[in-house]
């Protein structure tokens, strides 16, 4: 039994180096979306907020109740909803990206082809 638990623990830790680049705390991502992008979250079962671009609600963020850390799929879902790529999301949370830069990227991605 103890061996099985140790094996599971080792295998779950094997994912951490791959996630290291996007291993942000739930609080940091939520605060970035609120302060930098002005997203207002409604308290429900899951926190839901909209990003407003040109007086239209364009991007819907759905964030689970705060935990100490999120799984790989949760971060991937937030990145997908933000319509950013992983390096761009790193810049958003890490501070080099401003709201105007995000607006420009979003306008490009929302344009009809």
- Looking at per-residue confidence, does 3 or 13 come out higher? 3
Check whether 7 has a pLDDT greater than 70: no
Domain containing 24 equals 2-110
Q: Directed axis angle between helix 26-35 and helix 86-94, to 10°?
A: 80
User: pTM (2 decimals)?
Assistant: 0.71
Check whether 9 has a pLDDT greater than 50: no
User: How much is the average pLDDT of 78-103?
Assistant: 91
Check whether 101 has a pLDDT greater than 90: yes
Check whether 75 has a pLDDT greater than 80: yes
Check whether 107 has a pLDDT greater than 90: yes
Domain count, the chain: 1
Query: What are the structure tokens assigned to 67, written together?
Result: 């935990």
Q: For residue 20, what pLDDT is reported?
A: 47
Q: Is 95 helix (H, G, I), strand (E, B) or coil?
A: coil
User: How much is the average pLDDT of 91-105?
Assistant: 91
Residues in the chain: 113
């Amino acid at each position: 039994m103890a061996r099985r638990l140790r094996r599971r623990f080792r295998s779950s830790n094997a994912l951490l180096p791959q996630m290291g680049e996007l291993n942000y705390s739930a609080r940091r991502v939520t605060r970035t979306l609120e302060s930098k992008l002005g997203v207002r979250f409604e308290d429900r079962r899951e926190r839901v907020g909209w990003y407003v671009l040109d007086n239209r609600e364009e991007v819907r963020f759905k964030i689970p109740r705060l935990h100490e850390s999120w799984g790989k799929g949760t971060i991937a879902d937030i990145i997908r909803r933000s319509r950013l790529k992983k390096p761009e999301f790193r810049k958003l949370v890490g501070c080099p990206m401003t709201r105007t830069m995000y607006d420009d990227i979003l306008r490009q991605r929302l344009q009809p082809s």
